[in-house]
Structure 1
């Protein structure tokens, strides 16, 4: 088994989901008491948001690359970033990494292809929805990405950073997020919805309206376990 390195803390709630999820998926696939070795670098999410808000991409790459190098120094044999937003600069970080890295975007793209989806909605932080790193990866394989309207994007972002990031789950917020998804189905004809923030599955925990909600955290975890055990 390969030792797993995770840049976590982005945010803390989803890092817990990564740890538990990796252990649970591993136990479903392997017999006995063995578990993978996992090294977590819990980074400061406020610093991440400062760098992204300022579009300070060079310093963001430096900041993330240093943490990947620290994971490698601690014994990790491959690394992941347990968050969607930092994947804005994933390729640049990967190019400076001394160990292989698995992209949450690429793994989600593979899953969408396997499900024969062709037009996906994307929700997440405003940085994820405003950037084109999901669009580029999916466009290359013939899948369109649709984002919500500007006011909807701001609502989603505000709820993520003021509630969901802190583990605060309100039914009123869930219903409003679902209404945004329903509008995108009706008006944009999406055939799936990417939960492009690793905290979103805490509030949108199942498929709705007859379309799949792609849980990027769970998809990433499946790929991490596959790579760990050599599949």
Structure 2
């Protein structure tokens, strides 16, 4: 079994889910008392959030590269970044180490393509929904037609992530707001929705929704287990 290196803390709420899903998946596959061999480097998200909002991506990239290098030095065989937004600097992080990085968008899109999805909606932080580092990868590498909510709905999604979900606050009003936005996207032609922020899965699940949801947290964590055990459906 390979050692999984996790860059987490963005937020720790979703990093907790990563750790749980990874270990549950290893145990399901191997049985007994098996669990994952892993290293977690957890950052201070307040510092990261400040850099995001100030547009200081170079400084944020330095922090992420340092985390990756520490995981490699600690014995990690590959790395996953436990957040969608910070895949903005995935290329720089990967180039800073000599071990592979498993990209969250690749894990998600591989499953969507296998399921025959073509036109998909993306929910996440404003950085993820509005910038091209994520949407562009889904389109250019996997041929997906990616749509995002309108400006007002993007603000609602973003604010709930930072002001509630990252703090572990779950409100039914926020769930209903997300479901209204998803319904609107469905009526505009979305065949499925990518939960493109690792905290969104805390708020909504497939049982809440009439169209398929692709949970990036679970798909990424399960892909990490597959890679650790020598089975992977895409090339990192």
- TM-score, normalising length: structure 2: 0.94
Moved more, 27-36 or 174-183: 27-36
CA distance in 2, matches of 1:223, 1:139: 20
CA distance in 2, matches of 1:19, 1:46: 21
Q: Which runs of 5+ in 2 are unaligned?
A: 232-236
Q: How many Å apart are 1:225 and its aligned residue?
A: 0.3
Matches within 5 A, 1:143-154: 143-154=144-155
Which residue is equivalent to 2:26?
26
Root-mean-square deviation (CA, aligned residues, Å) is: 1.2
Which residue is equivalent to 1:185?
186
Q: Is the 8 A contact 2:166 2:199 kept in 1?
A: yes
Aligned pairs, number: 230
Give CA-to-partner distance per residue, 1:191-230, whole Å, 9 cap, x none.
Answer: 0000011000011122555321110000001100001111
Which residue is equivalent to 1:35?
35
Which residue is equivalent to 2:48?
48
Q: Which runs of 5+ in 1 are unaligned?
A: none
CA distance in 2, matches of 1:162, 1:73: 35
Q: Which runs of 4+ in 1 moved over 6 A?
A: none
Moved more, 30-39 or 109-118: 30-39
Q: Is the 8 A contact 1:6 1:79 kept in 2?
A: yes
CA distance in 2, matches of 1:205, 1:108: 16
- TM-score, normalising length: structure 1: 0.96
Matches within 5 A, 1:215-226: 215-226=215-226
SS of the residue corresponding to residue 206 of structure 2 reads coil
Matches within 5 A, 1:1-231: 1-140=1-140, 141-186=142-187, 188-206=188-206, 208-231=208-231
